[in-house]
Amino acid sequence: MDIIEAAKQAVEAVCPGVVSCADILTLAARDSSEYVKGPTWTVKLGRRDSTTASLDLATADLPLASENLDDLIRKFYKKGLNAKEMVALSGAHTLGQARCVTFRDRIYNDTNIDPDFAIHRRRSCPRNNNEGNANLVPLEPVTPNTFDNRYYRDLMEKRGLLHSDQVLFNGGKTDDIVAGYRKDSSSFYADFAAAMVKMGDINPLTGSSGQIRKICSAIN
């Protein structure tokens, strides 16, 4: 959040009380994708910031690393996103890292995993629940700093890091979507961009609702 706060303060210095933290976050997501050679899209502006904050509300509907396919589809559907949009948005895991505690069960207990991949990941994540919980590894190890469709190839090779990644390609209803994005990166890019726009339209505060925060980490 330090980068978002720095951007907010720079904007406030020249245009106080106009641009919300919500819009800055949305723009940052788009620009970050483009910076690492991913897709770009037109960001709708005019969001306002909440006057309350709740960690429980913010995380209540977030997918868990341990969830199965039907649970994931249900959570995305609740937000107005279909299974194809869910698979496209999951492609964001071409970037980023995950903590050992989120994938330990997969690398030691899942059967739909490449054995060599599991062995390699165990070096960074001990079986003992009291050791290495915060150890980080890339979600996609081959091109971890580039936005591409390598994530889907990993899934087809049973090398998804999280259980919730691998269930997207495990003999279920989303297998064909994964295979399609693995074959056609342009289709993935287009669908990812469209899904990001749609996700950005989920119940934003606009008009006189909410506020324009002066500091993103606190209400005015």
Q: Which residues fall in the annotated binding site?
A: 63, 93-94, 143, 148
Q: Can you tell me the distance from the alpha carbon of 177 to that of 182, in angstroms, rounded to the nearest whole number?
A: 9
Sorted by sequence, the CB contacts under 8 Å of residue 74 that are 6+ apart come out as: none
Q: Can you tell me the distance from the alpha carbon of 98 to that of 142, in angstroms, rounded to the nearest whole number?
A: 15
Per-residue DSSP letter, 94: G
Binding site for heme b: what residues are annotated? 93
Q: Can you tell me the distance from the alpha carbon of 194 to that of 69, in angstroms, rounded to the nearest whole number?
A: 22
Binding site for Ca(2+): what residues are annotated? 94, 143, 148
Binding site for substrate: what residues are annotated? 63
Find where tokens 């003999």 sit: 171
Q: State the Cα angle at 122 between 115 and 126, rounded to 5°.
A: 145
